[in-house]
Homo-oligomer: A and B are copies of this chain.
Amino acid sequence: VSPGAGRAAVLAIGDELVAGEIHDRNSPWLCERLGAEGFRVEEVRLLPDDEPEIARSLAEAARGRDLVISDGGLGPTLDDVTRHAAARAAGVPLEEDAATLAGLATHWAARGLAVPASNRRQALFPAGAAILANPVGTAPGFRVRVGGAWLAVLPGPPRELTAVFEGALAPWLPQVPGHGALVLRRRMHLFGLSESAFADRVGVWMDRDANPRIGVLAREGILIVKLEARAAGEATALELLEARLAELRAALGEHVFSEETDDLAQVVARLALDGDVPLATAESCTGGLVAARLTAVPGISAVFREGFVTYSNEAKVARLGVPRELLERHGAVSAPVAEAMARGAGERTGARLAVSITGVAGPGGGTADKPVGLAYFGLWRDGAVEHAERRYPAFGRDLVRAFATNQALDLLRTALAGGLRGAPRSVDTGRLVP
């Protein structure tokens, strides 16, 4: 970090944090975000919901710092005391904000209710504080001077924290002393490549001192590749990033599904909506996860016809027309049944593209022949069916289901990216993709 970097501290508030009951995911996010804004985070503190203790720590953390961010403890209940502690640290009284109270009144009136007494405290702010709007919750944040530092107080729920930070705090941060040592970041998201296979292919660029620096995170079959370039000016940083991204694309092309999102469902939805391709799903072991992921995307209703969660054999026969003899001869977890499921989903809904999954999610149900982690995928496109086989490590039911869900989505993606023609690259009787 450049020597001019602003000095920052982060305080996360909540009994559950110091009890070790939940892991603090907000602070790492805030640290990374503050780093990107050119601040150096010199300490993080986790504190219980204890007003005098929080007030004391806020004042202590503000000493010699440019910026202190606290999160948590802004809820409506009596154990939410951060606003009181902040006022105490700032040495000012709390005052009710009329506009926030009116907003709360509207929120509750929509349910035919007056603002409950306990919720009124969410309209209290230290005198002189600037309010930070919360578009996704009832607790706005605020910023206020504490000694020589700026203190920004944000709500604790991660969705609200990020929304308030990005929407109301980040645009103002350039006014804090020390803001602005330039760091630019990009991401690249891959499917179907393990972390070690990635390192084998492009490890030469992964040195810790490389610029851009590359970090990799593996999650449920997806690789999140993070590039971070440092430079004096934006043009240079962008140039460094673009050059390395081009090299990565050339080396890993077919595995890259997005440089914007780590959610395969969003990529599938965009491709399907762009091409106006009606979709359907037929799931056994994933039990609705693929449909749930696709329907999480706003606007998907224009192409998503229907999902089948045919958990029992009866349902596979009745709903998808899987021939009973296939089930008897090959078992429910088999390539022919996966293909018949995909065909049924396609034929019965009129979808041009349909994917099916049948597998052994575990922990029970595995055999020597068909172990936990074995899954078959069927793909229907414009009347043709094919299948893929995958064997996942038996790391638990949730993980097997998550891997299989991403695999199904990636089959849809590659089929759509190929214009629905020909065998998609990733359909083979494949090996583990951890």
Chain A residues proximal to chain B, CB less than 8 Å: 15-25, 27-33, 35, 41-50, 53, 57, 60, 75-79, 107, 110-113, 116-119, 136-137, 159, 195-200, 203, 206-208, 215-218, 226, 228, 281, 283, 285-292, 294-296, 298-301, 304-312, 314-315, 318-319, 348-349, 362-364, 391, 393, 395-399, 401, 431-432
* A307 and B309 in contact, given A199-B76, A298-B362 (Cβ under 8 angstroms): yes
Chain B residues in 8 Å Cβ range of A27: 20, 24, 46
Chain B residues in 8 Å Cβ range of A298: 362-364, 397
Report 23 cross-chain contacts, Cβ distance below 8 Å, ordered by A residue: A15-B215, A18-B41, A21-B32, A23-B23, A23-B28, A24-B24, A24-B28, A44-B45, A77-B199, A78-B199, A110-B391, A110-B393, A110-B432, A118-B199, A283-B288, A287-B291, A287-B304, A287-B307, A291-B309, A305-B311, A305-B312, A306-B319, A307-B307
Q: Please name the residue on chain B nearest to A30 by beta carbon.
A: B20
Majority SS of interface residues in chain A? mixed
Kindly report how many copies of this chain are found in the complex they form together. 2
Chain B residues in 8 Å Cβ range of A50: 42, 208
Tell me whether A281 and B309 are in contact (CB under 8 A).
yes
* A309 and B306 in contact, given A20-B27, A22-B28, A27-B46 (Cβ under 8 angstroms): yes
Chain B residues in 8 Å Cβ range of A393: 107, 110
- CA–CA, A15 to B226, complex, Å? 10
- CA–CA, A203 to B119, complex, Å? 13
Tell me whether B45 and A18 are in contact (CB under 8 A).
no
**Other-chain residue from B21, B287, B300, B364 in contact with A299 (beta carbon distance below 8 A):** B364
Chain B residues in 8 Å Cβ range of A46: 27, 43-45
- CA–CA, A17 to B391, complex, Å? 32
Chain B residues in 8 Å Cβ range of A289: 288, 292
Chain B residues in 8 Å Cβ range of A20: 27-33, 35, 41
* A116 and B281 in contact, given A46-B27, A289-B288 (Cβ under 8 angstroms): no
Chain B residues in 8 Å Cβ range of A29: 20
Chain B residues in 8 Å Cβ range of A197: 116
Closest 3 CB pairs of A and B: A287-B295, A307-B309, A288-B288
Q: Please name the residue on chain B nearest to A350 by beta carbon.
A: B314
Chain B residues in 8 Å Cβ range of A137: 395
Tell me whether B312 and A306 are in contact (CB under 8 A).
yes
Tell me whether B215 and A16 are in contact (CB under 8 A).
yes
